[in-house]
């Protein structure tokens, strides 16, 4: 019997918690769970890897094919390879560019990787399009229907709605702060017209939305009644999906024969950690530049060795206005040699006191790959202007933070190519871009409908009982439409 199992080549990938006190589980269970029961984040028990020959073969391969190969390493035998290939093909067919995440050269050794050709013009589409398909696959296999809830300050909500609309086994509700997001961001959530999606304008702040979502997850009765799940940036599948474009970019620029560096506009440390993952899998990444705006908790941590939160500043790059970088816990776990008990102690202390000191050896390990750089508002504006005048490219403020940091490092280490992750299209942040550059960005053809379609959404008070009752009624409707 076991001989037959061995002959078909099945291999199981297990996922463990960064806090060391939850049992190991499989890939699809880790995707559906999000957070581990001990409060930690899931990481693979062992890092899968690619040989240099395999990495070389990614050059010129279709993006969806590379994605199927990378995700296949993380899914192990839980998803047949032809099913996974179909999922990635469908996910990336929703992108407006045939190369999915094309590279354009800005300066002699600086490129931008355009991660904004998905349906909602920001990089979150890359992972969310795949995540929705993984959910539908896992839920169909388990005969289950889940209610997915997300609080959003802008980009995540739209990407989630676009990805999950029309899903057969999941319904989706997004909570956004009424009047506190841009019109484009709101329209991406409110104009799809699909019956399995609800957009709720909460009369309060983003923090109110997050508090309500937390209250829902803490209410066992409610959680079970609607089979609640979340798709925030700590979900392992999002990190796995984001590691793919590090491979395609590096292979296009000469990896594995040549090392490549990346400059990553960072908030929750999801994208930056995905780069670390690609490096663990064998990709020759020299440096990952952690580029932050004035909310520079991560840049300071790398410079000074203390991870301590401050007050949240409002900037031109609002998707990075974050003082707690959830995914940083994964890097910490790695750099304390995967000591779950030490990681649990550190992050419980951080929650209680708002600051921890990184052990010297762990900090040295982090600095082998990462370098931090905080970019202020004036530098961001100046970079939007200089990039336009020098290269003709109109970039968004998040991307500008990355370009500014890349040019500063590039001046010191000019031989290694640096790829900046261009995380949003300029037209997603028209006010900031117009003010900086004096030129209004044009909405891409494929996204034009969003400005014209009718909006449908509900407006509710920032009261968790009211919103829970609303979600219960939504879940009770079943999946018929």
Ligand X SMILES: *Cc1c(COP(=O)(O)O)cnc(C)c1O
Helices of type H across 281-429: 297-304, 328-335, 340-353, 360-369, 377-391, 397-410
DSSP letters along 42-66, please? Answer: EEESS-----HHHHHHTTTS-HHHH
Of 100, 181, 212, 319, the residue at the interface with ligand X (CB under 6 A) is 319
DSSP E strands, 156-216: 170-177, 197-203
Q: Nearest distance from residue 402's CB to ligand X, in Å?
A: 9
CB of 421 to ligand X, least distance (A): 8
Identify any residues that bridge with 202 across adjacent strands, giving them in sequence order.
177, 460
Cα gap 325→318, rounded to integer Å: 14
- Residue among 78, 114, 125, 155 that touches ligand X (CB under 6 A): 155
Residue of 12, 69, 86, 124 marked active site: 124
User: Could you tell me where the DSSP H helices lie in 58-182?
Assistant: 63-75, 81-93, 124-142, 155-164
Among 96-104, 126-134, 260-268, 306-314, which window interacts with ligand X (CB under 6 A)?
A: 260-268
Q: Which of 88, 268, 343, 381 binds ligand X (CB under 6 A)?
A: 268
Closest C-alpha to 177, from 152, 212, 158, 149: 152
Residue 395 structure tokens:
């970039």
Q: Is 270 in the site for ligand X (CB under 6 A)?
A: yes
Nearer to ligand X, 124 or 407 (CB): 124
The answer for 338, left when phi > 0, alpha when psi is -120 to 50, beta otherwise, is left
Asked if residue 320 binds ligand X (CB under 6 A), the reply is yes
Binding letters toward ligand X, positions 392-431, x by CB under 6 A = ------x------------------------xx-------
Helices and strands in the chain, H and E counts: 21, 16
Burial class (CB in 10 A: 0-12, 13-18, 19+), 130: buried
Site string for ligand X, 214-233 (x = CB under 6 A): -------------------x
Stretch that binds ligand X, among 131-139, 217-225, 264-272, 459-467 (CB under 6 A): 264-272
Q: Which is nearer to ligand X, 330 or 398 (CB)?
A: 398
DSSP annotation of 445: G
What's the DSSP call for residue 12? Answer: -
Count of residues interacting with ligand X (CB under 6 A): 16
Does position 269 bind ligand X by CB under 6 A? Answer: yes
In the complex, minimum distance from the CB of residue 214 to ligand X, in angstroms, rounded to a whole number: 18
Task: Give the residue, chosen from 19, 69, 73, 124, that forms a contact with ligand X under the rule CB under 6 A.
Answer: 124
- Residue 290 or 462: the one with the smaller Cβ distance to ligand X is 290
Tell me: does residue 330 bind ligand X (CB under 6 A): no
Q: Which is nearer to ligand X, 222 or 245 (CB)?
A: 245
In the bound state with ligand X, the residue whose beta carbon lies nearer, of 55 and 127, is: 127
- Closest to ligand X by CB, 256 or 270: 270
Q: Is 266 in the site for ligand X (CB under 6 A)?
A: yes
Handedness of CA 320, 177, 468, 125 (dihedral sign): negative
Helix or strand or coil: residue 191?
coil
> Active-site residue 214, yes or no?
no
Active-site residue list: 124
Chain residues binding ligand X by CB under 6 A are 122, 124, 155, 233, 265-271, 319-320, 398, 423-424
């Amino acid at each position: 019997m076991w001989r037959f199992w061995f002959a078909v080549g099945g291999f199981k990938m297990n996922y463990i918690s960064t806090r060391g006190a939850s049992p190991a589980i499989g890939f699809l269970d880790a995707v559906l769970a999000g957070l581990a029961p001990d409060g930690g984040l899931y990481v693979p028990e062992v890092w899968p890897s690619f040989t240099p020959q395999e990495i070389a073969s990614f050059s010129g391969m279709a993006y969806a094919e590379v994605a199927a190969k990378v995700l296949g390493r993380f899914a192990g035998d839980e998803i047949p390879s032809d099913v996974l290939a179909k999922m990635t093909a469908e996910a990336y067919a929703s992108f407006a560019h045939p190369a999915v995440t094309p590279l354009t050269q800005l300066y002699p050794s600086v490129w931008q990787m355009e991660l904004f050709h998905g349906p909602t013009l920001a990089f979150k589409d890359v992972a969310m399009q795949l995540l929705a398909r993984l959910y539908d696959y896992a839920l169909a296999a388990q005969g289950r229907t889940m209610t997915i809830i997300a609080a959003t300050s802008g980009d995540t909500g739209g990407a989630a709605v676009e990805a999950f609309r029309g899903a057969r086994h999941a319904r989706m509700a997004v909570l956004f702060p009424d009047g506190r997001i841009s019109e484009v961001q709101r329209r991406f959530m409110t104009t799809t017209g699909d019956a399995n999606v609800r957009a709720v304008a909460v009369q309060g702040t983003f923090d109110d939305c997050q508090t309500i979502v937390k209250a829902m997850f803490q209410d066992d009765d409610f959680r079970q009644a609607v089979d609640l799940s979340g798709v925030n940036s700590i979900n392992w599948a999002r990190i796995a999906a984001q590691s793919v474009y590090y491979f395609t970019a590096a292979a296009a620029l000469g990896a594995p024969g040549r090392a490549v560096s990346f400059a990553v506009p960072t908030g929750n440390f999801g994208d930056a950690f995905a780069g670390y993952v690609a490096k663990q899998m064998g990709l020759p990444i020299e440096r990952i530049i952690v580029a932050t705006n004035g909310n520079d908790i991560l840049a300071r941590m790398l410079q000074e060795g203390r991870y301590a939160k401050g007050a949240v500043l409002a900037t031109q790059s609002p998707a990075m206005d974050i003082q707690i970088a959830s995914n940083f816990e994964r890097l910490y776990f790695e750099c304390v040699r995967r000591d779950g008990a030490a990681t649990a102690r550190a992050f419980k202390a951080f929650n209680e006191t708002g600051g921890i000191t990184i052990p010297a050896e762990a900090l040295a390990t982090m600095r082998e790959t990462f370098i931090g750089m905080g970019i202020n508002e004036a530098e961001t504006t100046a970079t939007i202007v200089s990039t336009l005048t020098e290269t003709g490219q109109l970039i968004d403020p998040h991307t500008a933070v990355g370009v500014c940091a890349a040019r500063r490092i590039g001046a010191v280490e000019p031989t290694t190519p640096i790829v900046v992750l261009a995380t949003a299209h300029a037209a997603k942040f028209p006010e900031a871009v117009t003010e900086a550059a004096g030129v209004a960005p044009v909405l891409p053809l494929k996204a034009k409908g969003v400005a014209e379609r009718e909006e449908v959404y509900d407006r509710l008070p920032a009261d968790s009982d009211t919103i829970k009752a609303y979600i219960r009624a939504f879940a009770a409707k079943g999946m018929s439409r």
